[in-house]
Amino acid sequence: MSDQQSRRNALKSLLVSSATIASGASILSFSCKEKSTEKNTMLKGNINHSVCQWCYGSIPLDDLCIAVKKIGFSAIDLIGPKDWPTLKKHGIYSSMCNGAEINLTDGFAEKKFHAQLISNYNSVIPQVAAAGYKNLICFSGNRRGMNDETGLKNATEGIKQIIGLAEKNGVIIQMELLNSKIDHKDYMCDKSAWGVELCKRVGSPNFKLLYDIYHMQIDEGDVIRTIKENHQYFGHYHTGGVPGRHEIDESQELYYPAIMRAIKATGFNDYVAQEFIPAKEDKLKSLKEAILLCDI
């Protein structure tokens, strides 16, 4: 056999071996990728995840309960007493209860609503406790010409009339921070500083703020610093993409993994609820992607 033929045969053998190795590497790579994907769907447990039901209003609550359990978490936000039996049937926790508020505009900042609000909360607080839940939402309502100080005095007076019952029942009343620039014109509790001052005046561990990241990015920004400096007053968190309140992916300006790490670093162990309105066709896929993004 000539040297030329020997080299030709050797090269042929080398090419075959290389192809075999490459094929094996490709299969291994694909296999690892699949295993990695499977692993990523197993939530890490550093963040207690939830989702706001109203963002998926087209999906029956029974189906949403099944979907969130399939993703890997078991809590839904903003559910009132009439729907608690559905959650319990599926083993889903009501991470933020509602049903005592009048609406978003008529709240504790205005005295004329106090009588109805106090009656509502005195009724619902024991129901929350009896159902085994602990978080109940409330709202400041609109300014209607009031300055910050008047709103603070009024809200403090009203909330102090229900906070004793909340303490007795182990229920935390949580006032949501909403933006007044885009979505909720004239809303009083539109800045963290106002809400924190209200917490100080109420002076109870059973009154906290629902820090909505979407809303506060719009009205004040500086999200991570605000969380670090005021976390003791924040009892719950909501997400949302800015601008637009849609998916929290790379299409918007907030970087949620960093925000979640900041929340975790404060020692927070309650719930972070997804409150974005899915713009994509597959709404549950968007929810799963958001959960994985926040699962630091």
CATH number of the domain where residue 164 is located: 3.20.20.150
Residues 162-173 pLDDT 10s: 999 999 999 999
Between 73 and 32, where is the model more confident?
73
**What sign has the CA pseudo-torsion 211, 215, 217, 221?**
negative
Range of the domain at 163: 44-294
The pLDDT, as a whole number, for residue 295 is: 98
- Is residue 3 located within the same domain as residue 70? no
Could you report the per-residue pLDDT of 250-293, keeping only the tens digit for each?
A: 999 999 999 999 999 999 999 999 999 999 999 999 999 999 99
pLDDT of residue 34: 35
Q: How far apart are CA 119 and CA 128, in angstroms?
A: 15
State yes or no: pLDDT of 230 exceeds 90: yes
Average pLDDT over residues 40-58: 92
Contact by Cβ (8 Å): 141, 109: yes
Q: Amino acid letter at 13?
A: S
Among candidate residues 42, 41, 94, 96, the one with its CA nearest the CA of residue 65: 94
- The reply to whether 61 and 200 lie within a common domain is yes
Q: Are residues 102 and 231 both part of a single domain? A: yes
Q: 54 and 35, same structural domain? A: no
* Shared-domain flag, residues 140 and 265: yes
pLDDT: is 11 or 229 the higher one?
229
Q: Which amino acid is at 245?
A: R
What pLDDT does 42 receive? 86
Q: Are residues 24 and 91 in the same domain?
A: no
Same structural domain, 50 and 33 = no
pLDDT at 41: 59
Q: What pLDDT digit, counting tens, does each position of 181-191 carry?
A: 999 999 999 99
Question: Would you say residue 155 has pLDDT above 80?
Answer: yes
Residue 30 has pLDDT above 50, yes or no: no
The model's pTM: 0.86
**Rounded distance, CA 271 to CA 96, Å?**
9
Residues 253, 114 share a domain: yes
- Total of domains in the chain: 2
Closest C-alpha among 142, 129, 167, 137 to residue 238 = 137
The pLDDT tens digits of the residues spanning 32-43 come to 333 333 344 589
Same domain, 145 and 223: yes
Same domain, 147 and 210: yes
The pair phi, psi for residue 174, each rounded to 5°, is -125, 120
Closest CA to 90 of 70, 104, 108, 115: 70
Query: How many Å apart are CA 57 and CA 50, to the nearest integer?
Result: 15
The per-residue DSSP string of 148-169 comes to HHHHHHHHHHHHHHHHHHHHHH
pLDDT of residue 203: 98
Does the bond joining 243 to the residue before it have cis omega, within 30 degrees of 0?
yes
Residues 31 and 152 reside in one and the same domain: no
CB 94 within 8 A of CB 87: yes
Q: What is the rounded distance in angstroms from the CA atom of residue 22 to the CA atom of residue 260?
A: 40
pLDDT per position as a tens digit, 55-71: 999 999 999 999 999 99
Same domain, 20 and 78: no
What's the CA dihedral at 89, 171, 55, 270 to 10 degrees?
-90
Q: How many CA atoms lie within 13 A of 7 on its CB side?
A: 3
Q: What does residue 271 show for φ and ψ, rounded to 5 degrees?
A: -110, 145
